[in-house]
């Protein structure tokens, strides 16, 4: 997606660039903020994408939201929102967030909280592949940048474990796989300062790789 605050405009995204190259095709950008493998299986999301469009090919680039260590569970986040929405309790909510944020590494080491645990991630991948068929190109989770490494306990190991599930499911169902983790590990400058969103240059590189994968897919299908 776009990151205008970091200089990534819509015209810089790999979705936009792919459409410019694939003149005889229609590319639908179905990305939404905070998307996850769980959300990609909901009735509404599937209806608007797989069911309504019936695409010839799907590029699946998810996983960061799923695997990222969290400071608060979904229920705790809801309680915090209630605190922040209450005039006399807003200050308390800010104190709780600031306290845990400053000690993020310590808290993520003490207890791993994730939106989509690895067991569910693996199940979600298989369900999606069964629904979409083998016409999927997976882009795996990028290497975690320095900010993520310094603030989240064993984040690289976590990403590797999630990517391993993705590789196994791709192989099992005959889907294609782009090893974006390997590319970003070799060239960490392709990540933005936050450690997980990608730069304009990274979008260009991903566009080139995806074009090669799409061409290969079209030749064999």
Q: pLDDT tens digits, residue range 46-62?
A: 999 999 989 999 999 99
Same domain, 46 and 121: yes
Q: Which of 54, 86, 113 is the last residue of a domain?
A: 113
Same domain, 168 and 208: yes
Same domain, 100 and 208: no
How does the average pLDDT of the chain come out, rounded? Answer: 94
Same domain, 76 and 44: no
pLDDT band at 1 (very low <50, low <70, confident <90, very high): confident
Same domain, 41 and 84: no
User: For residue 218, is pLDDT > 90?
Assistant: no
pLDDT band at 87 (very low <50, low <70, confident <90, very high): confident
Total number of domains constituting the chain:
2
CATH of the domain at 132: 3.40.50.1110
3-state secondary structure labels for all residues of the chain? CCEHHHCECHHHCHHHHHHHHCCCCCCCCCCCCCCCCCHHHCHHHHHHHHHHHCCCCEEECCCHHHHCCCCCCHHHHHHHHHHHHCCCCHHHHHHHHHHHHHCHHHHHHHCCCCCCCHHHHHHHHHHHHHHHCCCEEEECCCCCCHHHHHHCCCHHHHHHHHHHHHHHHHHHHCCEEECHHHHHHHCHHHECCCCCCECHHHHHHHHHHHHHHHHHHHHHC
In this prediction the pTM is 0.94
Same domain, 63 and 132: yes
Same domain, 89 and 191: no
User: For residue 221, is pLDDT > 80?
Assistant: no
User: Exposed e or buried b for every residue in 123-135, given b needs 16+ CB within 10 A?
Assistant: bbbeebbeebeee
Q: In this predicted model, what pLDDT tens digit does every residue of 88-97 receive, in sequence order?
A: 999 999 999 9
User: What was the pLDDT predicted at 150?
Assistant: 96
Same domain, 56 and 132: yes
Same domain, 16 and 78: no
Q: For residue 106, give its domain range.
A: 71-113
Q: Which long-range contacts (CB under 8 A, 24 or more apart) does 204-212 make?
A: 204/14, 204/17, 206/14, 206/139, 206/178, 206/180, 207/14, 207/17, 207/18, 207/21, 209/178, 209/183, 210/14, 210/18, 210/59, 210/137, 210/139, 210/178, 211/18, 211/21, 211/22
């Amino acid at each position: 997606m776009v990151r205008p605050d970091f200089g990534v405009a819509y015209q810089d995204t790999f979705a936009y660039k792919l459409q410019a190259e694939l003149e005889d095709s229609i590319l639908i950008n179905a990305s939404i903020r905070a998307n996850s493998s769980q959300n990609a299986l909901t009735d509404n999301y599937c209806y608007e994408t797989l069911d309504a469009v019936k695409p010839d090919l799907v590029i699946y680039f998810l996983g960061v939201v799923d695997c990222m260590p969290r400071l608060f569970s979904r229920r705790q986040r809801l309680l915090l929102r209630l605190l922040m929405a209450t005039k006399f309790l807003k200050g308390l909510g800010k104190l709780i967030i600031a306290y845990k944020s400053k000690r993020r590494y310590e808290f993520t080491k003490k207890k791993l909280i994730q939106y989509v645990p690895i067991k569910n991630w693996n199940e979600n991948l298989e369900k999606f592949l069964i629904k979409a068929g083998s016409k999927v190109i997976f882009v795996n989770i990028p290497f975690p940048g320095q900010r993520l490494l310094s603030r989240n306990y064993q984040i690289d190991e976590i990403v590797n474990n999630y990517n391993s599930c993705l590789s196994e499911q791709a192989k099992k169902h005959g889907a294609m796989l782009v090893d974006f983790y390997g590319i970003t590990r070799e060239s960490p400058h392709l990540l933005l300062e936050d450690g997980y969103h990608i730069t304009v240059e990274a979008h260009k590189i991903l566009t080139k790789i995806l074009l090669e994968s799409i061409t290969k897919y079209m030749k064999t299908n």
